[in-house]
Structure 1
Amino acid sequence: MIFDKLKRLYIVFDSPEIDSPPVFSSGDVVSGKVVLNLSGESKVQSLKLHAEGFAKVHWTESRSAGSSTAYTQNYSDEVEYLNRREVLLQADNGEHTLLSAGRHEFPFSFQLPEETLVTSFEGKHGSIRYWVKVKLHRPWATVRKIKKEFTVIEPIDINTPALLAPQAGTKDKMARVWYRNFGQVSITAKIDRKGYTPGEVIPVFAEFDNATSRSVVPKAYITQTQTFIARGTMKQKQAVVATLSGDVVGAQRRETWHGRAIKIPPVGPSILQCRIIKVEYMLRVCVDVPGTSKLCLELPLVMGTIPLHPFGSRTSSVSSQYSVNLEWLRMAIPEQPEPPPDYSSVVTDEEAERNITAPHPEEDLSGIMEHPLRAFVQEFRFRPPPVYCEIDPNPQPLNMRRRCMTC
């Protein structure tokens, strides 16, 4: 029979690395091939490809309507991000195409939408998935369907002013059990920036002021919150992905963290642009007070995919120090200022030697307007900084100084 001649039907994506599956983002071209293995001659009516991408959420809740009556409420919603169809094989006369025995390859290629897509995600109450589906139609045979998913990761560059901005805050509460007050406990905390990437270490600067009559334990957590939205109702799932424990702070004592390190584990990037699914991260600096609820200060985090650039880290440090001078001093937490970079880190050895030993002939600037400005920018890119000297290289004339003194 005809359908017995189909040995295998599968999809292969083009990937620069053979061992790892491809990863795409908005505007990328997804390409590959559909492979058809036949044990003998076979008639094929059509071979069609359908690329899809959806964000879907679904959960059920049971509600009580009385002492013995209960009903189940379903919540579901979806958002479409990709819908692309392509015909890979179809006879001109609309009947069928005769394929010989052996291996047949049908390449495909399509471009993802230019507008921002959403990163692939799998959660308890929803998912964001992208896939390619292929349908093979043959005479007198059932339709063969195969589907293969691919991953989309939307880049989040943490080298932006909003994500490089330091995050800081303070919070306090009165510790009490029933009608008895034990005193006040307060937290002040700061981190260098808002955006990080998995694998980085977050230095936490914090101060814990325990004015109570009991010992407290400071801790820090990185939490992930998954939010699912459908029909105006929200469902959340929260998990702790990293923890940091401090030393016990005795009664009427104060503890300071001078950059305690908490490492970010391999987690997925933040998802903030989807209407029905969100993935958010938070750094929670807490104090456990025995006998009463804990005090927590929350600092928002964004997990990105593009790490901090080398020069961006210097810029971030400068902006962080500026914030320290204005805001963090009021919180009474000292921070060691960052020393300036070494000369060797600014200029390469080859450029430094060339600028010292090479003679500088007089330049002919008569045709400067005939060349593009970029050429001159490239020329001065690696020039060393000027040598510091306390003697003014361009002193003013003595008579000009006297005139200025009498003004």
Structure 2
Amino acid sequence: MGKLNSFVIVFSQTQNIYYPGQTLQGHVTVDLNDTMKMRGIRLRFEGKAKVEWTEGSGDNEKDYSAKEKYFKDDILLDGRGADMPVTETNSKTVGCLCCESGPINANFTIDRQGYVPGEAIILKAEIDNMSDGQIESSSVTLTMETTFRVKHKTKHKQTKVAKLKHGSILMGEHDYWNGDKLVIPPLPPSYLACCSIIDVKYILMLTVRPPGLTFDLNIHLPVIIGTIPLQSVFDSHPAIMHPAAYRETSSSFPTPSAYPPGETLPTDTFSSGAGYASPVNPPQRSALPPPSYAECVFGKVNIAEEGDTKYVKGDTEYAPAYTYYNWGHKPSALPV
């Protein structure tokens, strides 16, 4: 077996049947007999069906088969991409070959890659201006990269959603981002599981604007925006309050995927009148309250459909609402 002694998944519940919205809990044990390099440990949930049979015999034998996939979700349990620090560096020389000045050096660090709306990304950066001129400014921008797919065609769109900025840096001087907080506004989660025509990713970019006509120095760090905070983050924050900076929606019942670890649907939801039977041993609800919901930072759009006539009534302005954890952070400025 090499370095791996055992790789075991054990569920906390003993039953094999789960009702919709119930939290599936357990633990994964990885036992090694020596150091092993790995990029991470992922847990995959997959629902699918397959049928197959054979008819006839000999030369007349024929196979029949079909399959369907109902869901496929991956969760990163450990490794880069969720709770590990990420650091990148870059440098740029200002000027041309005949009159080059000293370099501009920068490094950029975030404490992890996994966040939820309402959390603050703690920014750390160091910029050394060894050039012969004054750096105009430095800034950090959170950008949403959206990919739209149709048959035989793909479209990409970049939208800036939050930004922080520092001032100029004199020749020979340094500037430090020492824990600046960029707060994530209400946004859709990364990747959009179960959606094959829209993909969403987020990039955090440090931009340094050198003197003269030189191109900007950029450092990109990918971040993952989800709906449930990391357990270590949850434990370090007080109880969740309603969002103050963004307009809360009237929805009072969150979807199962947005519940924090340990949360489940309220047991009074399951009644014979609703067509469900109460579970024999319903899991205990966590003392932590569910998240609030806030209108998307991009605001409302017109959802009127082509072919609608004047007889179609109702409000055609709509804005989706997303999970938002208000832990007291002042929202970052929207990019101009």
TM-score (norm 2): 0.45
Structure showing greater relative contact order (alpha-carbon pairs closer than 8 Å, 6 or more residues apart): 2
Larger radius of gyration: 1
